[in-house]
Chain A
């Protein structure tokens, strides 16, 4: 049995929600909308496993930060006992994965991991492990970031720049068993600090396409976008992707 990457896509903000989901998304913020729409699209093109045989693995660095502040604002402005219960409950980090499960009828494992270091790849490793162990047949692996104005301002002041490279968006990969896509042989993470770099390697060749430079920036979605493009455009068998950042290296082997 091989774990395969059967679909991979990136969603930027400004996308259109499917009409059938509008009513159920009435309380949802962008963090949820991005996750639900990315997952909906990635599942649409493939035959789906049974609800209990699909899992959701979401990785985020900052979570629903804007709603966290909206919720805090109702507490500060309206007083104690009057925080909005809707905003509060929608500021919990697993809210997006929960919405994806509910709106798309998924009843397998749902996991949200929060880290500044490769959130998507940590989720990918867990999703791959769950498919490989036979716990599920399909894994929807998500990266979602919405940031917040407060964070953008703090970023600019921390790094002395006028523009923060924090663009909201989401990415979704669908992992399957023995599907048509490239085989995801391994996701190895080594957390030893090292110098940042990113390349695709095949045997002894090294290839660096444009766009890869974006990974050097402190943008938690940049590497996901590059890898997603890699899956869709420059896939060849025997490719290894190696990523490195200040917090460690990752090696993703495809076959």
Chain B
């Protein structure tokens, strides 16, 4: 689980091209959007595609997606 968390954090920083953020800066329960990491709706859908690609899972519905990310 720790390994998965670390992989996720690295993927978020690398593939969403976050500037000046290190994996250690992200707490496990930090919100991703707005006041948290400052991600927006375009990052949200990019993240869905990234997770599908890297972890070979399907996320079908954005409302479901939003809840999973909230």
A positions within 8 Å CB-CB of B? 22-23, 26-27, 78, 81-86, 89
Q: Give the number of residues in B that approach A within 8 Å (Cβ atoms).
A: 11
Contact between B53 and A26 (Cβ–Cβ < 8 Å)? no
Q: Whole-angstrom distance between the alpha carbons of A86 and B45 in the complex?
A: 8
Q: State the 9 A-B residue pairs at the shortest beta-carbon distance, nearest first.
A: A26-B17, A85-B45, A86-B46, A23-B19, A78-B53, A26-B19, A82-B49, A85-B46, A82-B53
A219 → chain B closest CB, angstroms:
31
Contact between B19 and A86 (Cβ–Cβ < 8 Å)? no
Q: Whole-angstrom distance between the alpha carbons of A26 and B19 in the complex?
A: 7
Is B6 an interface residue when CB atoms closer than 8 A count as contact?
no
A83 → chain B closest CB, angstroms:
8
A90 → chain B closest CB, angstroms:
9
Contact between A82 and B52 (Cβ–Cβ < 8 Å)? yes
Contact between B42 and A86 (Cβ–Cβ < 8 Å)? yes
Q: Which residues of B contact A26 (CB under 8 A)?
A: 16-19
Contact between A85 and B42 (Cβ–Cβ < 8 Å)? yes
B21 → chain A closest CB, angstroms:
10
Q: Which residues of A contact B16 (CB under 8 A)?
A: 26
Q: Which residues of A contact B45 (CB under 8 A)?
A: 85
Q: Mark B9-21, 1 if CB is under 8 A from A, else 0.
A: 0000000111100
Q: Whole-angstrom distance between the alpha carbons of A12 and B16 in the complex?
A: 27
Q: Whole-angstrom distance between the alpha carbons of A82 and B52 in the complex?
A: 8
Q: Which residues of B contact A84 (CB under 8 A)?
A: 46, 49
Contact between B19 and A22 (Cβ–Cβ < 8 Å)? yes
20 more CB-based (< 8 A) A-B contacts, given A26-B19, A86-B42: A22-B19, A26-B16, A26-B17, A26-B18, A27-B42, A78-B49, A78-B53, A81-B49, A82-B49, A82-B53, A83-B49, A84-B46, A84-B49, A85-B42, A85-B45, A85-B46, A85-B49, A86-B43, A86-B46, A89-B42
Contact between A81 and B52 (Cβ–Cβ < 8 Å)? yes
Q: Which residues of B contact A89 (CB under 8 A)?
A: 42
